[in-house]
Structure 1
Amino acid sequence: MIQAVRKMPLSALAGLVITLLFFLMALSAPLIAPYGLGEVVGKVWEPSSARFWLGTDNIGRDLLSRMIYGGRTTIFIASAATLISFTIGSVLGFTAVVMGGWCDVLLSRFVDLIMSIPGLIFALVILSVVPATILVLILVMAFLDATRVYRLSRSVAESIYAMDYVEAAKLRGEGTGWIVLREILPNALSPLVSELGLRFIFMVLYLSTLSFLGLGIQPPSTDWGAIVKENSDGLVYGITAALAPAIAIATLAISVNLVADWVLSLTTSLKGGRS
């Protein structure tokens, strides 16, 4: 494992460094942002300068500061929603396999029902009725994504549950909790960790889409999708303020994807080496 980490490809290393920089930026946003989140400090859509590195936005706020604070919100919501969705989805997926019978059928059919509804439309309906607070956004996104995690975790757990060491644990009289936590979970971590990065990127894109449609983060808070929406009118006049958050979203997506691909290839090679 240590040798594999040392042989990390340059692309994966670059992705890891960029991802860590984004997360460090999110954690230290109040310390590194030149101006306040809603502070009007210049004219409308000023170009890049020594004072405003990325220029100003549609009402004269420093775009770099908005980007830093928006990145903090985007990364926090996407991370929280991803962790919740993986916790709920994996627990329910493992439980469905271990319990079997009516429990498996009931959970699987409920997940099929939710997945039959387009996720974006489902979220838009909920957010048009419920206030779009940060907590509501996290819960809605996590609920919708937990169905996909359930499918993955159930599929992985189903193959693990048929292994001899699980049968041995059942013959020893181990309970359901022991089998899930000590037998299934450790062997299912590799595909789940690989999928974790991809689902995180999906959450970033999902949140940005909701904010661009006006049902995501509400003022005075902001995220990258909301910044794109605020400055999209400037594209008609050649103002590139809307491109900065779009580039940030794409950069984060690519960097996390590079790391996820490396983790997947690493776990595959380790499995091949053990076999």
Structure 2
Amino acid sequence: MTLLRTAPLSARVGMALIVLYALTAILAPWIAPYPEAEVVGPKYLPWAGPHWLGTDALGRDVLSRLIYGARNTVGIALLTTVLAFVIGTVGGLLAATLGGWFDMVASRVVDVLMAAPSLIFALLLLTITGTLVTALVLVIAVLDSTRVFRLSRAVAQGVLTMDYIEVARMRGEGLGWLIGREVLPNVTAPLIAEFGLRFCFFFLFISALSFLGLGLQPPTADWGSMVRESAKQIAFANFSSWKAASFGLAPLLPAGAIAMLTVAVNMVVDWVLRLSSGLKD
């Protein structure tokens, strides 16, 4: 609590926004006024009660889909980040601690995966495996675990040169002890900061795939696909009145939700990086 009280305003604002997004995702079925995919009225209704953000091209409530989009988009991005970190961190720490042939083979596999642009590689794999949520999560997590692998391996190699590691080895401590009790606690800060940055990347990456039609599939509410579905409305917008303007502003709602969460996470990551580096304001 003391640490939170001393946090800068930007970090506290970022944490408040993250909590708001988390609560929205968790409580989506209870706070959304309508079901996720239910057609509730005529298409393109203006912003007014009971549809406070209007309806989309099929007559679904936009506010409800935005709320459910928090659960789907953010939840899948978080799951993908956790999976990528488990794969990358375990692999990187093992490679640094064991060294030898395991380190060489793992590093070369990572180099091969990182050689191709991740978006193009993901599009290719998703075209082959299909766009099921399971395939989406696994493909993105495996591809981007390579970045986590390289970071965890690099910071672990710095720790493994310390005297207390040699003392632990002389005591006869096993691999599990070395990684879990000696290495991992000393590399936690940069990994936490990287977790936030990776989450932002996955969040934007999944939204981009959905915008291209290879992410979450209809009728699932997803912010990236909502931008794609409503993008054409900007070209036909009429800003002569508020009701007419709401038609053209519709694509900005999911885009703004994506941007706001990305900025919030980056503000918190900034603070964590400053703490881990020992810098003072």
Structure 1 residues without counterparts, runs of 5 or longer: none
2:187 partner SS = helix
The residue number in structure 2 matching 1:263 is 272
State whether residues 132 and 216 of structure 1, in contact with CA within 8 Å, keep that contact through their aligned partners in structure 2. yes
The residue number in structure 2 matching 1:122 is 121
Q: How big is the shift at 1:262?
A: 0.8
Q: How big is the shift at 1:63?
A: 0.4
The residue number in structure 2 matching 1:81 is 80
Amino acid in the other structure paired with 2:259: A
Q: How big is the shift at 1:229?
A: 0.9
Map 1:55-94 to 2 at 5 A: 55-94=54-93
Residue 241 (1) aligns with residue 240 (2): no
State whether residues 45 and 241 of structure 1, in contact with CA within 8 Å, keep that contact through their aligned partners in structure 2. no
Aligned-pair identity in percent equals 50
Could you report, residue by residue, the CA deviation over 1:7-37 in whole angstroms, capped at 9, with x for unpaired residues? 1111110100001100110001100000111
Distance of 1:138 and 1:152 partners within structure 2: 21
State whether residues 37 and 221 of structure 2, in contact with CA within 8 Å, keep that contact through their aligned partners in structure 1. no
Greater alpha carbon shift after TM alignment, 15-24 vs 39-48: 39-48
1:143 partner SS = helix
Q: How big is the shift at 1:201?
A: 0.7
The residue number in structure 1 matching 2:130 is 131
Could you report, residue by residue, the CA deviation over 1:95-125 in whole angstroms, capped at 9, with x for unpaired residues? 0111111111111111010000110111111
Distance of 2:95 and 2:104 partners within structure 1: 8
State whether residues 42 and 60 of structure 1, in contact with CA within 8 Å, keep that contact through their aligned partners in structure 2. yes
State whether residues 44 and 59 of structure 2, in contact with CA within 8 Å, keep that contact through their aligned partners in structure 1. yes
Greater than 6 Å deviation, 4+ residue runs? none
Distance of 2:180 and 2:174 partners within structure 1: 10
Distance of 1:185 and 1:266 partners within structure 2: 18
The residue number in structure 1 matching 2:262 is 253
Distance of 2:181 and 2:72 partners within structure 1: 35
Greater alpha carbon shift after TM alignment, 162-171 vs 36-45: 36-45
State whether residues 113 and 146 of structure 2, in contact with CA within 8 Å, keep that contact through their aligned partners in structure 1. yes
1:204 partner SS = helix
1:50 partner SS = coil
1:45 partner SS = coil
Normalising by the residue count of structure 1, what TM-score does the alignment of the two structures yield?
A: 0.95
Distance of 1:198 and 1:263 partners within structure 2: 11
Distance of 1:25 and 1:207 partners within structure 2: 19
Distance of 1:234 and 1:256 partners within structure 2: 30
- Cα RMSD (Å) of the superposition? 1.2
Amino acid in the other structure paired with 1:138: V
Could you report, residue by residue, the CA deviation over 1:55-101 in whole angstroms, capped at 9, with x for unpaired residues? 11121111010111111101111000101111110110010111111
The residue number in structure 2 matching 1:145 is 144
1:38 partner SS = coil
Normalising by the residue count of structure 2, what TM-score does the alignment of the two structures yield?
A: 0.93
State whether residues 152 and 191 of structure 2, in contact with CA within 8 Å, keep that contact through their aligned partners in structure 1. yes
Distance of 1:43 and 1:242 partners within structure 2: 18
Residue 161 (1) aligns with residue 160 (2): yes
The residue number in structure 2 matching 1:38 is 37
Report how many residues are paired: 270
The residue number in structure 2 matching 1:50 is 49
Distance of 2:174 and 2:126 partners within structure 1: 41
Structure 2 residues without counterparts, runs of 5 or longer: 238-247
Distance of 2:227 and 2:31 partners within structure 1: 22
Distance of 1:131 and 1:104 partners within structure 2: 32
Greater alpha carbon shift after TM alignment, 22-31 vs 42-51: 42-51
State whether residues 234 and 242 of structure 1, in contact with CA within 8 Å, keep that contact through their aligned partners in structure 2. yes
